[in-house]
Structure 1
Amino acid sequence: MIEIKTIDENKKGHIDLLLRADPYEVMIDKYLDKGIMYALYDNDELTCIAVVIEISKETCELKNIATYEHFQNRGYASKMINHILDVYSEQYSSMVVGTAESGIPFYDKFGFVYSHKIKNFFIDNYPEPIFEGESQCVDMLYLEYKF
Protein backbone atom coordinates (compact mmCIF):
# COMPACT_ATOMS: atom_id res chain seq x y z
CA MET A 1 0.00 0.00 0.00
CA ILE A 2 1.30 3.45 -0.96
CA GLU A 3 1.18 6.10 1.75
CA ILE A 4 2.56 9.66 1.79
CA LYS A 5 3.23 11.22 5.19
CA THR A 6 4.42 14.62 6.33
CA ILE A 7 7.65 14.43 8.34
CA ASP A 8 7.72 17.05 11.10
CA GLU A 9 10.54 15.79 13.30
CA ASN A 10 14.09 14.62 12.64
CA LYS A 11 14.11 15.71 9.00
CA LYS A 12 17.90 15.53 9.12
CA GLY A 13 17.51 11.82 9.83
CA HIS A 14 16.80 11.44 6.10
CA ILE A 15 20.00 13.19 5.01
CA ASP A 16 21.24 10.10 3.17
CA LEU A 17 18.29 10.28 0.80
CA LEU A 18 18.30 14.09 0.52
CA LEU A 19 21.95 13.99 -0.51
CA ARG A 20 21.04 11.86 -3.53
CA ALA A 21 19.32 14.91 -5.07
CA ASP A 22 21.43 17.66 -3.50
CA PRO A 23 24.97 16.43 -2.78
CA TYR A 24 26.05 19.30 -0.52
CA GLU A 25 24.72 19.20 3.04
CA VAL A 26 25.36 22.93 3.54
CA MET A 27 22.85 23.69 0.77
CA ILE A 28 20.28 21.29 2.26
CA ASP A 29 20.65 22.99 5.64
CA LYS A 30 19.59 26.29 4.06
CA TYR A 31 16.08 25.03 3.30
CA LEU A 32 15.40 21.91 5.34
CA ASP A 33 14.06 23.55 8.52
CA LYS A 34 11.79 25.97 6.66
CA GLY A 35 10.48 23.31 4.31
CA ILE A 36 7.71 20.75 4.59
CA MET A 37 9.03 17.23 4.10
CA TYR A 38 7.00 14.44 2.55
CA ALA A 39 7.88 10.75 2.67
CA LEU A 40 6.40 8.12 0.37
CA TYR A 41 6.14 4.62 1.78
CA ASP A 42 5.29 1.42 -0.06
CA ASN A 43 4.21 -1.28 2.39
CA ASP A 44 5.80 0.72 5.23
CA GLU A 45 9.15 0.96 3.40
CA LEU A 46 10.48 4.46 2.69
CA THR A 47 11.04 4.94 -1.04
CA CYS A 48 11.02 8.68 -1.78
CA ILE A 49 11.41 12.04 0.00
CA ALA A 50 10.46 15.57 -1.10
CA VAL A 51 10.84 19.02 0.48
CA VAL A 52 8.73 22.07 -0.45
CA ILE A 53 9.24 25.64 0.77
CA GLU A 54 7.24 28.84 0.42
CA ILE A 55 8.91 31.53 -1.68
CA SER A 56 6.07 34.05 -1.60
CA LYS A 57 2.32 34.13 -0.98
CA GLU A 58 1.84 33.03 -4.60
CA THR A 59 4.76 30.65 -5.19
CA CYS A 60 6.24 27.58 -3.55
CA GLU A 61 9.37 25.67 -4.57
CA LEU A 62 10.12 21.97 -4.72
CA LYS A 63 13.63 22.04 -3.25
CA ASN A 64 14.42 18.34 -3.15
CA ILE A 65 12.97 15.09 -4.38
CA ALA A 66 14.91 11.86 -4.16
CA THR A 67 14.23 8.15 -4.47
CA TYR A 68 16.45 5.39 -3.19
CA GLU A 69 18.32 3.88 -6.13
CA HIS A 70 16.82 0.40 -5.74
CA PHE A 71 13.31 1.94 -5.95
CA GLN A 72 13.95 4.14 -9.00
CA ASN A 73 11.98 3.74 -12.24
CA ARG A 74 8.94 2.40 -10.41
CA GLY A 75 6.89 5.61 -10.44
CA TYR A 76 7.44 6.66 -6.82
CA ALA A 77 8.77 10.13 -7.66
CA SER A 78 5.87 10.63 -10.09
CA LYS A 79 3.39 9.70 -7.36
CA MET A 80 5.12 12.17 -5.05
CA ILE A 81 5.00 14.99 -7.62
CA ASN A 82 1.31 14.38 -8.28
CA HIS A 83 0.61 14.42 -4.54
CA ILE A 84 2.55 17.65 -4.01
CA LEU A 85 0.88 19.37 -6.96
CA ASP A 86 -2.50 18.37 -5.56
CA VAL A 87 -1.66 19.61 -2.03
CA TYR A 88 -0.27 22.98 -3.14
CA SER A 89 -2.80 23.76 -5.89
CA GLU A 90 -5.20 25.19 -3.29
CA GLN A 91 -2.63 27.48 -1.63
CA TYR A 92 -0.44 28.87 -4.42
CA SER A 93 -0.69 30.03 -8.00
CA SER A 94 2.57 28.37 -9.04
CA MET A 95 5.33 25.97 -8.03
CA VAL A 96 8.91 26.21 -9.23
CA VAL A 97 11.69 23.66 -9.24
CA GLY A 98 15.39 24.11 -9.94
CA THR A 99 17.14 21.34 -11.81
CA ALA A 100 20.07 20.53 -14.03
CA GLU A 101 19.42 19.86 -17.70
CA SER A 102 18.95 16.13 -17.19
CA GLY A 103 15.92 16.74 -14.94
CA ILE A 104 13.89 18.64 -17.51
CA PRO A 105 12.23 15.64 -19.24
CA PHE A 106 10.95 14.33 -15.89
CA TYR A 107 9.27 17.63 -14.94
CA ASP A 108 7.97 18.17 -18.50
CA LYS A 109 5.68 15.16 -17.98
CA PHE A 110 3.79 17.06 -15.29
CA GLY A 111 3.42 20.34 -17.16
CA PHE A 112 6.36 22.29 -15.74
CA VAL A 113 7.75 24.79 -18.27
CA TYR A 114 11.05 26.65 -18.46
CA SER A 115 11.08 29.87 -16.44
CA HIS A 116 14.67 31.08 -16.09
CA LYS A 117 18.20 30.02 -15.22
CA ILE A 118 20.90 30.99 -12.78
CA LYS A 119 24.20 30.87 -14.64
CA ASN A 120 27.03 28.94 -13.01
CA PHE A 121 24.90 28.06 -9.98
CA PHE A 122 26.45 24.63 -9.46
CA ILE A 123 29.98 25.94 -9.98
CA ASP A 124 29.51 28.92 -7.65
CA ASN A 125 27.67 27.11 -4.83
CA TYR A 126 29.15 23.61 -4.62
CA PRO A 127 32.71 22.78 -3.54
CA GLU A 128 33.04 19.82 -5.93
CA PRO A 129 31.88 19.52 -9.55
CA ILE A 130 28.55 17.73 -9.95
CA PHE A 131 28.11 15.36 -12.86
CA GLU A 132 24.97 13.74 -14.21
CA GLY A 133 26.23 11.04 -16.48
CA GLU A 134 29.20 12.54 -18.30
CA SER A 135 27.87 16.12 -18.25
CA GLN A 136 28.91 18.59 -15.57
CA CYS A 137 26.05 20.55 -14.00
CA VAL A 138 26.72 24.26 -14.48
CA ASP A 139 23.51 26.33 -14.64
CA MET A 140 20.43 25.89 -12.43
CA LEU A 141 17.39 25.75 -14.71
CA TYR A 142 14.12 26.81 -13.13
CA LEU A 143 10.85 25.31 -14.31
CA GLU A 144 7.41 26.52 -13.28
CA TYR A 145 4.04 24.84 -12.90
CA LYS A 146 0.98 27.12 -12.95
CA PHE A 147 -1.98 25.95 -10.90
Structure 2
Amino acid sequence: MTFSNTRISLIKTGKKHFLPLLLLADEQESMIDRYLDKGDLYAMFGNDGDLIAVAVVTDGTDGVCELKNLAVAPEYQHQGYGRRMVDFLCNRYKDNYNIMQVGTGDSMITIGFYESCGFVVSHIVKDFFIINYDHAIIEDGHRLKDMVYLKKTIG
Protein backbone atom coordinates (compact mmCIF):
# COMPACT_ATOMS: atom_id res chain seq x y z
CA MET A 1 0.00 0.00 0.00
CA THR A 2 1.29 3.46 -0.79
CA PHE A 3 0.43 6.74 0.91
CA SER A 4 1.23 10.05 -0.70
CA ASN A 5 4.76 10.02 0.66
CA THR A 6 5.22 6.49 2.04
CA ARG A 7 5.17 2.81 1.16
CA ILE A 8 4.68 -0.13 3.50
CA SER A 9 6.47 -3.39 2.81
CA LEU A 10 6.23 -6.85 4.36
CA ILE A 11 9.72 -7.83 5.52
CA LYS A 12 10.40 -11.55 5.19
CA THR A 13 14.15 -11.75 5.82
CA GLY A 14 16.65 -9.78 7.84
CA LYS A 15 14.10 -8.81 10.48
CA LYS A 16 16.79 -8.18 13.10
CA HIS A 17 18.06 -5.32 10.89
CA PHE A 18 15.04 -3.38 12.19
CA LEU A 19 15.87 -4.04 15.86
CA PRO A 20 16.95 -0.47 16.71
CA LEU A 21 13.50 0.84 15.81
CA LEU A 22 11.65 -2.14 17.32
CA LEU A 23 13.43 -1.42 20.62
CA LEU A 24 11.68 1.96 20.81
CA ALA A 25 8.38 0.15 21.40
CA ASP A 26 9.71 -2.83 23.35
CA GLU A 27 12.92 -2.09 25.25
CA GLN A 28 14.09 -5.66 25.83
CA GLU A 29 15.49 -7.67 22.93
CA SER A 30 14.67 -11.01 24.54
CA MET A 31 10.98 -10.02 24.58
CA ILE A 32 11.10 -9.03 20.90
CA ASP A 33 12.74 -12.39 20.14
CA ARG A 34 9.60 -14.10 21.47
CA TYR A 35 7.45 -12.80 18.61
CA LEU A 36 9.61 -11.39 15.81
CA ASP A 37 10.14 -14.63 13.88
CA LYS A 38 6.52 -15.75 14.44
CA GLY A 39 5.06 -12.45 13.32
CA ASP A 40 4.68 -10.45 10.13
CA LEU A 41 7.04 -7.47 10.15
CA TYR A 42 6.01 -4.39 8.19
CA ALA A 43 8.21 -1.40 7.52
CA MET A 44 7.08 2.03 6.34
CA PHE A 45 9.53 3.91 4.16
CA GLY A 46 9.47 7.45 2.82
CA ASN A 47 9.96 8.21 -0.87
CA ASP A 48 13.59 8.96 -0.03
CA GLY A 49 14.01 5.45 1.42
CA ASP A 50 14.12 6.63 5.03
CA LEU A 51 12.71 4.14 7.54
CA ILE A 52 9.71 5.81 9.18
CA ALA A 53 7.97 3.06 11.18
CA VAL A 54 7.80 -0.67 11.87
CA ALA A 55 5.10 -2.97 13.18
CA VAL A 56 4.80 -6.68 14.00
CA VAL A 57 1.51 -8.58 13.86
CA THR A 58 1.14 -12.15 15.10
CA ASP A 59 -1.48 -14.77 14.44
CA GLY A 60 -3.87 -15.34 17.28
CA THR A 61 -6.74 -17.68 17.97
CA ASP A 62 -10.49 -17.38 17.53
CA GLY A 63 -10.28 -14.68 14.87
CA VAL A 64 -7.92 -12.43 16.83
CA CYS A 65 -4.57 -11.12 15.60
CA GLU A 66 -2.22 -9.11 17.79
CA LEU A 67 -0.21 -5.99 17.09
CA LYS A 68 2.90 -6.81 19.10
CA ASN A 69 5.08 -3.84 18.23
CA LEU A 70 4.53 -0.45 16.65
CA ALA A 71 7.37 2.04 16.55
CA VAL A 72 7.82 5.31 14.71
CA ALA A 73 11.27 6.85 14.32
CA PRO A 74 11.58 9.86 16.65
CA GLU A 75 11.94 12.39 13.81
CA TYR A 76 8.62 11.20 12.32
CA GLN A 77 6.57 10.96 15.53
CA HIS A 78 3.40 13.05 16.00
CA GLN A 79 2.87 13.38 12.24
CA GLY A 80 0.23 10.68 11.72
CA TYR A 81 2.53 7.87 10.59
CA GLY A 82 1.64 5.59 13.51
CA ARG A 83 -2.06 6.02 12.76
CA ARG A 84 -1.40 5.34 9.07
CA MET A 85 0.37 2.11 9.99
CA VAL A 86 -2.48 1.02 12.28
CA ASP A 87 -5.06 1.79 9.56
CA PHE A 88 -3.01 -0.17 7.02
CA LEU A 89 -2.72 -3.19 9.35
CA CYS A 90 -6.41 -3.21 10.25
CA ASN A 91 -7.28 -3.15 6.57
CA ARG A 92 -4.65 -5.80 5.76
CA TYR A 93 -5.94 -8.28 8.37
CA LYS A 94 -9.69 -7.63 8.23
CA ASP A 95 -10.42 -10.48 5.81
CA ASN A 96 -8.82 -13.12 8.04
CA TYR A 97 -9.49 -11.79 11.54
CA ASN A 98 -12.41 -10.21 13.34
CA ILE A 99 -10.42 -8.45 16.04
CA MET A 100 -6.99 -6.87 16.36
CA GLN A 101 -5.66 -6.58 19.88
CA VAL A 102 -2.65 -4.75 21.23
CA GLY A 103 -0.96 -4.92 24.61
CA THR A 104 0.78 -1.83 25.91
CA GLY A 105 2.09 -0.37 29.12
CA ASP A 106 -0.15 1.48 31.52
CA SER A 107 0.78 4.84 30.01
CA MET A 108 -2.03 7.25 29.24
CA ILE A 109 -0.14 8.60 26.21
CA THR A 110 0.05 5.20 24.52
CA ILE A 111 -3.41 4.08 25.62
CA GLY A 112 -4.81 7.39 24.36
CA PHE A 113 -3.15 6.85 20.99
CA TYR A 114 -4.74 3.42 20.54
CA GLU A 115 -8.12 4.69 21.74
CA SER A 116 -7.91 7.46 19.13
CA CYS A 117 -7.38 4.70 16.55
CA GLY A 118 -10.65 3.03 17.61
CA PHE A 119 -9.35 0.50 20.14
CA VAL A 120 -11.09 -0.03 23.49
CA VAL A 121 -9.61 -1.44 26.70
CA SER A 122 -10.21 -5.18 26.90
CA HIS A 123 -8.35 -6.39 29.98
CA ILE A 124 -5.27 -5.80 32.15
CA VAL A 125 -2.44 -8.16 33.10
CA LYS A 126 -1.23 -6.99 36.51
CA ASP A 127 2.52 -6.55 37.09
CA PHE A 128 3.42 -7.77 33.57
CA PHE A 129 6.35 -5.38 33.16
CA ILE A 130 7.67 -6.01 36.66
CA ILE A 131 7.62 -9.79 36.20
CA ASN A 132 8.77 -10.06 32.57
CA TYR A 133 11.39 -7.34 32.15
CA ASP A 134 14.86 -7.29 33.66
CA HIS A 135 14.79 -3.53 34.25
CA ALA A 136 12.28 -0.82 35.08
CA ILE A 137 10.63 0.69 32.02
CA ILE A 138 9.86 4.38 32.35
CA GLU A 139 7.49 6.13 29.97
CA ASP A 140 6.59 9.79 30.34
CA GLY A 141 8.05 9.78 33.86
CA HIS A 142 5.92 6.80 34.94
CA ARG A 143 7.21 3.28 35.68
CA LEU A 144 5.23 0.79 33.62
CA LYS A 145 3.73 -1.95 35.75
CA ASP A 146 0.61 -3.45 34.14
CA MET A 147 0.00 -4.57 30.56
CA VAL A 148 -3.20 -3.01 29.21
CA TYR A 149 -4.82 -4.91 26.34
CA LEU A 150 -7.00 -3.03 23.88
CA LYS A 151 -9.01 -4.44 21.01
CA LYS A 152 -10.65 -3.24 17.84
CA THR A 153 -13.17 -4.95 15.59
CA ILE A 154 -11.66 -5.05 12.09
CA GLY A 155 -13.53 -7.77 10.18
Q: TM-score, normalised by structure 1?
A: 0.97
Give the letter for the 2:10 counterpart: T
Q: How does 1:1-147 map to 2 (within 5 A)?
A: 1-43=5-47, 44-102=49-107, 103-147=110-154
Q: How many residues align?
A: 147
Give the letter for the 2:76 counterpart: F
Give the letter for the 2:20 counterpart: D
Give the letter for the 1:117 counterpart: I
Separation of aligned partners in 1, 2:6 and 2:17: 21
Separation of aligned partners in 2, 1:79 and 1:125: 30
The Cα RMSD (Å) is: 0.8
- Greater shift after overlay, 96-105 or 82-91? 96-105
What CA deviation, in whole Å up to 9, does each residue of 1:94-145 have, x standing for no partner? Answer: 0100011321110111211110011000000000000102110000000011
- Name structure 2 gaps, 5 residues minimum: none
- Name structure 1 gaps, 5 residues minimum: none
Separation of aligned partners in 2, 1:2 and 1:14: 17
What CA deviation, in whole Å up to 9, does each residue of 1:71-99 have, x standing for no partner? Answer: 11111111100000000111101010001
Q: Deviating runs (4+, > 2 A) in structure 1?
A: none
Q: CA deviation at 1:15?
A: 0.5
Q: TM-score, normalised by structure 2?
A: 0.92
What CA deviation, in whole Å up to 9, does each residue of 1:26-46 have, x standing for no partner? Answer: 000000000000001111211
Structure 1 vs Structure 2: percent identity of aligned residues? 42
